[in-house]
Amino acid sequence: MGEAKLKETRRLQFLKLHPSCVYCGDAASTTDHCPPRCFFVRRHWPETYEFPACEKCNAEARLDEQGLAVLIRTPLRETLNELDQQEWGKLVDGVRNNQPRLLAEWTDISRNEIKRDLRSTFGRDVGDLLRQRGWGAANIGLLTEGMITRFMIKLGKALYYKHNAHIFDGILYVNHIDLAARDTTPEYIESILRMAPALAAIERNRKPLSEQFVYRFNNSPEGQVMYAVVQFGDQFIFQLIAMGREMHTKLVELNNGDDLPKAGRHECFLIGKP
């Protein structure tokens, strides 16, 4: 059997075991890598992070993933070799061709704002030195914030399915943690990690990929809940809280009938389910 035929056979076997799209619940006809392959150097994505998806859900996230890959693969250190730089440059070219408004948003930043951001992240002396070496900063505006939020929702659904073995139907809270913010202290990071004792194994061909993608989690299939703290590269940390409909109802009752907080909240109810 040829490689293409073998790959198709495995895909069909996978979809037979996982017939529904993890993102919307419709019939799955494709497989989707989440996180996407473009997030990873040489496209060496982690094994077992492939999910059943319908054509619509698989296709509609591609531009978001292309744009976010540029940001995620921008390191906070001068370590890119020539091949890595070429890969990153192709991602930038893709955004320039397919999403010029997004690229325009990133570059809508003044020299003084770049100076301020580099000093805030690295300190005055190091920040000024890096700026002299040609380092810059990107403006994170409404387009980028929307892209990040949509990806966090998608990632939350995928990880919930991976660890709870059923499609998510409920309330999802997402939070993009600003590592440069003053209140993002080591103590704060430690506090959110304490709620996620399990460390996920992120590997390909027995080689760890934790420098690019790592997360801790806590989950309960019976309680229909999952909590995860996910990090990509040097700059992006996402906090995800997923709770099924029944758990959400119970928490509202424990809260004397008052609804739960609205910040970062997204209703991800499956269509057609009562």
Give tens-digit pLDDT for 136-187. Answer: 899 999 999 999 999 999 999 999 999 999 999 999 999 999 887 778 899 9
Rounded Cα gap, residues 145 and 197, in angstroms: 29
Residue 12 backbone class (left: φ over 0; alpha: ψ -120 to 50; beta: rest): alpha
1 — pLDDT class (breaks 50, 70, 90): low
Q: Tell me the three state secondary structure of residue 239.
A: strand
Say if residue 200's pLDDT is above 70.
yes
Own/partner long-range contacts of 264-268 (Cβ < 8 Å, ≥24 apart): 264/173, 264/174, 264/175, 265/171, 265/172, 265/173, 266/153, 266/171, 266/172, 266/173, 266/174, 267/171, 268/153, 268/157, 268/168, 268/169, 268/170, 268/171, 268/172
Q: What is the pTM of this model?
A: 0.93
Contact 167, 161 (CB under 8 A): yes
Average pLDDT of the segment spanning 94-114: 96
pLDDT of 274 > 70? The answer is no
**Amino acid present at 79:** T
Burial 123-141 (b: 16+ CB within 10 A, else e): eeeebeebbeeebebbbbe
d(C-alpha 193, C-alpha 187), whole Å: 10
Here the tokens at position 15 are 């979809």
Q: What is the pLDDT, as a whole number, of residue 79? A: 66
Mean pLDDT score across all residues of the chain: 92
Helix or strand run (H / E) with residue 8: helix 3-17
For the cut 60, the answer to whether the pLDDT of residue 66 exceeds it is yes
CA separation for the pair 214, 231 (Å, rounded): 5
Collapsing DSSP states into helix, strand and coil, what is residue 31? Answer: strand
pLDDT class of 63 with cuts at 50, 70, 90: very high
pLDDT, one tens digit per residue, over 220-249 is: 999 999 999 999 998 899 999 999 988 888
Supply the pLDDT for residue 204. Answer: 94
Identify whether the C-beta of residue 157 lies closer than 8 Å to the C-beta of residue 168: yes
133: its two tokens: 């070496």
Which pLDDT score, from 0 to 100, does residue 272 have?
A: 57
Amino acid, res. 3: E
CA–CA distance, 35 with 231 (Å, rounded to integer): 11
